[in-house]
Structure 1
Amino acid sequence: MRRDGRGRGAGVAAATALVCALGMSAVPEAAYAAPGEPTPGPEPGGSGGKSLDEVRQEVEGLYRKAGSATDAYNLAREKQTRQERAIVKIARAVVTAQKEMAGLRQQAGAMARAQYRGGGMPAEARLLLNGDPGDFLDGVTLARKGQQATHGLMSRLERTQAALDRYARSASREWERLDRSRAKKAAAKKQITAKLARAQRLESRLEKKERERLRWLEEEKARTAQAKWLGSGILRDVGTSATSSGRRAVDFATAQIGKNYVWGAVGPDTYDCSGLTQRAWAVGGRAIPRTSQEQWRLLPKVAVKDMRPGDLVIYFPDASHVGMYVGGGAVVHAPRPGRRVTIAGAGSMPILGVVRPDRR
């Protein structure tokens, strides 16, 4: 992608300028009725007499709830992966400890057999019965070494056994956590599929013209919100320069424009909102959390007026959506099922806050 003088892709600069222009103009098309006008003649099983704007609100609400459940699903899946890795690590440690235990037991057996061959008499007693002073002194040295070896062997046996017991307890805890993560993941998936199916049924019952109008209503709402955000004068303070890491992240994210949203996806062909930002920042050289809620919780926060390209804009009170600021008052994001990765106004959705993966 060719860069302009400010270090952002020229295509991104043009797109963000268009977003700003659309946000400021936000004029409804004359061919459409007012947003609150009812749809003519509800079909059986259709919108139930609701206005198209009411349908839009219901569909939007369902996708928002599905987005929250997607975050829960992604977090549970990430925890499940970590727990599975922890169990594998514990299993490998157990194998190593068991091998060490087998070797120690062989040594202990050899020492017991040696003592049996000596008549079962302790080394200290044999020394006292030895009448040769030189042999006695040599025997004392050997006895001490034997005692040290025996003590060391017993200590290693105890430590190894304690390690095996600890591994067993850890494995039990990880299995319990894994079961909980699997249950949460399954519950979230059930909720996601139910919400998505309901939203898709609502949309499918609309005629083609109504579906086009529904999409226009969504875009109109976003344009109005963006215009209001821009009208606050926020861009007077917002930064325009990105770090080298931020530029790489922005370049990657904008290169994904046009790819489909799929919940739980992290690329390369489809993404959900946080899958896109996580992957973009991996290319930028920073590992960040998987979900928008964890990104909001764990990454350094910055004021909206201080954001710069590459920063992540977190949306809605439950932090259920995220986009990447690309400059010019715009973000790149994966909106929802049925939509594609696109450029949108940074203020087109309710902003919760901004986080910076490469704060310095």
Structure 2
Amino acid sequence: MGSGTRSLIATAVTVVCAVTVLAVPGTAFAAPGPGSGPSASSTPPASSTPAGDKSLEAVRAKLDKLYHDAAVATDSYNAAEEKADKQSAAIVDLAKKIVKGRQKLDQLKKRAGAAAAAQYRTGGLPDEARLLLSNDPQEFLDGADRTMQGERAAKGLIGELTRTQQDLAQYAKDASARWKELEANRKAKDAARKKIKKQISAAEELEARLAKKEKERLAKLEEDAALKAQTTWLDSGILDEIKGKASAQGRKAVAYATAQIGKPYEWGAEGPATYDCSGLTSQAWADAGHAIPRTSQEQWKQLKHVDVKDMRPGDLVIYFHDATHVGMYIGDGAIVHAPRPGRTVTITGAGSMPILGVVRPDA
């Protein structure tokens, strides 16, 4: 792609940031620094309506914090759900092993019972005693061989019975541990769900208190912040360094993600009708044939890190100091992402939010 074309596309992305409220830091769980913005527990009195840019900036900071906290809780919810799914699958697998183990144990007990019955029918004498009482040397030798085989078989049977019983005991112990972990994750999911709803409700209540003109002005402030951040990022000359080309899987992931544009954000959602930020990226890469972690924090922890200048379409851009948001780089300085509650999947500038780093699913 020529430098002139790249420049035009980069400019177009900047303009997108300037004209759409869907492409702003406040729409993607911004994380204010320590001491910035009011606390999550304090909201403006119902009788007071913010007036002026200074008050609206405080509202924007408050909304950023509420949605950021909701994003943190969403990551916790998604992580607990993923663990619960794995634990449920493990419990099912252990249950199948227990059923097979019990069937095997029943068979072994039948074999042991048959051996005991055979010994009873021979008068209860051990094979060694019957051999000593034999007058036929050949019969003695043949019997000795059979006795040795019988002893080995008996020892093998006893050993198999013991191992099967031990396996069953371990399966039961593992299943019990998995049940405890599953219950713990169910509680974690419930706590995260309550926190998400609380933060989103507080944000919606705060926005509902604004008059129409104030909402429009708030949107303009958000647009200005997005434009400023993206322009600063582009002015660094970074786009001249980013020349990576997408892999085949990366192109497929980008195609999937961009096909979801316009679909609503919903926390905990993985499609096909709604998505949260990491639900979109994980499903896009799953569609490309490459499974990746479910949450943005685990994507940051587990996937290969690459320099921003080396990123290519399909790579994931992780945002904010605690990795609570993620978008997919699609080229020419832009990402596709699911911003936050009340927004839809959209394209925005890759530099419109604070970048923590970039990871590559198919490294």
**TM more than 0.5:** yes
Would you say the 8 A contact 2:270–2:280 is kept in 1? yes
Deviation of 1:219 (Å): 1.9
Given the superposition, is the C-alpha separation of residues 75 and 16 from structure 1 closer, same or farther in structure 2, using an over 3 Å criterion? farther
Would you say the 8 A contact 1:24–1:227 is kept in 2? no
The one-letter amino acid of 2:217's match is: R
Q: State the match for 1:167 in structure 2.
A: 171
Quick one: which of 336, 344, 347 aligns to 2:348? 344
Given the superposition, is the C-alpha separation of residues 44 and 187 from structure 1 closer, same or farther in structure 2, using an over 3 Å criterion? closer
Cα separation, 2, equivalents of 1:139 and 1:168: 43
Given the superposition, is the C-alpha separation of residues 290 and 45 from structure 1 closer, same or farther in structure 2, using an over 3 Å criterion? farther
Given the superposition, is the C-alpha separation of residues 44 and 174 from structure 1 closer, same or farther in structure 2, using an over 3 Å criterion? closer
Quick one: which of 186, 191, 203 aligns to 1:182? 186
Would you say the 8 A contact 2:10–2:332 is kept in 1? yes
Cα separation, 1, equivalents of 2:49 and 2:233: 32
Cα separation, 1, equivalents of 2:77 and 2:305: 24
Q: State the match for 1:19 in structure 2.
A: 13
Q: State the match for 1:124 in structure 2.
A: 128
- Greater alpha carbon shift after TM alignment, 294-303 vs 239-248: 239-248
Deviations 1:226-272 (A, max 9, x none): 11111111111012521111111111111111110000001111100
Would you say the 8 A contact 2:18–2:224 is kept in 1? no
Quick one: which of 324, 329, 336 aligns to 2:333? 329
Given the superposition, is the C-alpha separation of residues 47 and 121 from structure 1 closer, same or farther in structure 2, using an over 3 Å criterion? farther
1:235 aligns with 2:239: yes
The one-letter amino acid of 2:141's match is: L
Cα separation, 2, equivalents of 1:24 and 1:241: 27
Deviations 1:177-221 (A, max 9, x none): 111111111111111111011001101121222222222222221
Deviations 1:69-115 (A, max 9, x none): 10010000000000000000000001001000000000111111111
Cα separation, 2, equivalents of 1:317 and 1:54: 21
Would you say the 8 A contact 2:50–2:56 is kept in 1? no
Deviation of 1:45 (Å): 4.0
Q: State the match for 1:276 in structure 2.
A: 280
Cα separation, 2, equivalents of 1:71 and 1:16: 31
Q: State the match for 1:295 in structure 2.
A: 299
Identity across the alignment (%): 54
Cα separation, 2, equivalents of 1:177 and 1:187: 15
Given the superposition, is the C-alpha separation of residues 206 and 21 from structure 1 closer, same or farther in structure 2, using an over 3 Å criterion? closer
The one-letter amino acid of 1:120's match is: G
Given the superposition, is the C-alpha separation of residues 48 and 227 from structure 1 closer, same or farther in structure 2, using an over 3 Å criterion? closer
Q: Secondary structure at the match of 1:227?
A: helix
Given the superposition, is the C-alpha separation of residues 139 and 15 from structure 1 closer, same or farther in structure 2, using an over 3 Å criterion? same
- Greater alpha carbon shift after TM alignment, 182-191 vs 333-342: 182-191
Would you say the 8 A contact 1:47–1:202 is kept in 2? no
- Greater alpha carbon shift after TM alignment, 42-51 vs 125-134: 42-51
TM-score scaled by length of structure 2: 0.88
Matches within 5 A, 1:140-151: 140-151=144-155
Cα separation, 2, equivalents of 1:96 and 1:143: 31
Q: State the match for 2:32 in structure 1.
A: none
Q: State the match for 1:34 in structure 2.
A: none
Given the superposition, is the C-alpha separation of residues 263 and 79 from structure 1 closer, same or farther in structure 2, using an over 3 Å criterion? same
The one-letter amino acid of 1:274's match is: S
The one-letter amino acid of 2:329's match is: Y
Instruction: Structure 1: give runs of 5+ residues left out of the alignment.
Output: 27-41
Deviation of 1:152 (Å): 1.1
1:95 aligns with 2:99: yes
Would you say the 8 A contact 1:241–1:308 is kept in 2? yes
Given the superposition, is the C-alpha separation of residues 88 and 128 from structure 1 closer, same or farther in structure 2, using an over 3 Å criterion? same
Q: Secondary structure at the match of 2:123?
A: coil
Instruction: Structure 2: give runs of 5+ residues left out of the alignment.
Output: 21-43
Deviations 1:32-78 (A, max 9, x none): xxxxxxxxxx9844547781111111011100110011001000000
Matches within 5 A, 1:201-216: 201-216=205-220
Matches within 5 A, 1:28-47: 44-47=46-49
1:251 aligns with 2:250: no
Deviation of 1:21 (Å): 3.9
The one-letter amino acid of 2:201's match is: A
The one-letter amino acid of 1:234's match is: I
Cα separation, 2, equivalents of 1:206 and 1:136: 104
Runs of 4+ deviating beyond 3 Å: 12-17, 21-26, 42-50
Would you say the 8 A contact 2:18–2:223 is kept in 1? no
Quick one: which of 266, 274, 288 aligns to 1:262? 266
Deviation of 1:15 (Å): 7.2
Cα separation, 2, equivalents of 1:228 and 1:13: 15
Would you say the 8 A contact 2:67–2:200 is kept in 1? yes
Quick one: which of 298, 314, 334 aligns to 1:310? 314
Would you say the 8 A contact 1:16–1:327 is kept in 2? no
Cα separation, 1, equivalents of 2:353 and 2:290: 26
